[in-house]
Structure 1
Amino acid sequence: MWQCPKCGREFKNRNQDHFCGEPPKTIDAYIAAQPESVQPLLNQVRNTIRAALPDAQERISWSMPTYWSKHNIIHFAAFKKHIGLYPGEKAIENFENRLTEYKRSKGAVQLPYDKPLPLSLITEIAKWCYETANCQRL
């Protein structure tokens, strides 16, 4: 077991990514708690998803910004070197040929801070998740 030196929580994995302290209650609070250099990028992702999904509710789920309409549609989160976008496994499969330059996992894609954000692709993914209901189930 590994214990976070900042918050004292214990995890199976050493240096486990997590949110120290009280989880944010709003997306504004989430973004404000991130490093200043990352906040503009998070706001770009947020604004892109909001424009793509104007009827979706903004929520915090699993301590991450989440867009919801009868179910979770898509999530994003800040990490040390990237923004994690969590559209779900089916979305990653559907957009696989357009995500080749990014590190991916079963239901997520890592958008590194040192590359331009693919905002039009994020728009397409968010809309696809909403329209097909193939979303991340956290």
Structure 2
Amino acid sequence: MMKTATFETPEQYIAQFPAADQAVLKKIRAAIRKALPTAEEVISYQMPTFKVHGAVIYYASCKAHYAVYIPPTYGVYEAFKKELKPYKLTKSAAQFPKSEAIPYELIQQMAEYAGAQNELLAKKKTAKAR
């Protein structure tokens, strides 16, 4: 039985992939970092994750695509429906084929939107708690 790798840092996660995938993952990471400069970077569900008041966005490399996972509560996939039309979407992920150019600017915009929604939800929770 093969042991599943566990990662403690985004760097460890990225380092497991071939150089071409590492380069793309680093660019995805940089786009998200630009959108969420104060976010904490952690590993969650064995993927690099940016957190601000909880998880905002995860990213991963899969066999044939790169994926960006954003909790559905932020409404990102609905807000970017038109821009995401060429890509496969699930309830919580956008998949970008490795055979095509990766839309780093779109990923950054999605992260910014998710971060803003995350802030609004955090403010509502704080206001409710008072």
Q: TM-score range by the shorter chain?
A: 0.7 to 0.9
Unaligned runs of 5+ in 2: 120-130
Aligned to 2:101: 116
> Which residue of structure 2 aligns with residue 40 of structure 1?
23
Alignment of 1:58-69 (within 5 A): 58-69=41-52
CA drift of 1:57 comes to: 0.7
TM-score normalised by length of structure 2: 0.85
Q: 91, 106, 115: which one pairs with 1:130?
A: 115
Contact in 1 for aligned 2:52/2:118 (Cα 8 Å): no
More helix by share: 2
Other-structure match for 1:51: 34
The runs of at least 4 aligned residues of structure 1 exceeding 4 Å deviation read none
2-side partners of 1:78 and 1:119: how far apart? Answer: 14
Question: Percent identity at matched positions?
Answer: 32
**Separation in 2, partners of 1:111, 1:88:** 17
Count of matched residue pairs: 117
**Unaligned segments of structure 1, at least 5 residues:** 8-19
Within 5 Å, give how 1:1-138 maps onto structure 2.
Answer: 6-7=2-3, 20-21=4-5, 23-89=6-72, 90-133=75-118
CA shift for structure 1 position 119? 1.1
1:107 CA drift (Å): 1.1
CA distance in 1: counterparts of 2:2 and 2:96, whole angstroms = 26
Partner Cα separation in structure 1 for residue 18 and residue 93 of structure 2? 22
| Structure 2 counterpart SS, 1:25 | coil
In structure 1, C-alpha distance between the alignment counterparts of 2:117 and 2:18, rounded to whole Å = 34
TM-score (normalised: structure 1): 0.80
What RMSD over aligned residues (CA atoms) do the two structures have, in Å? Answer: 1.3
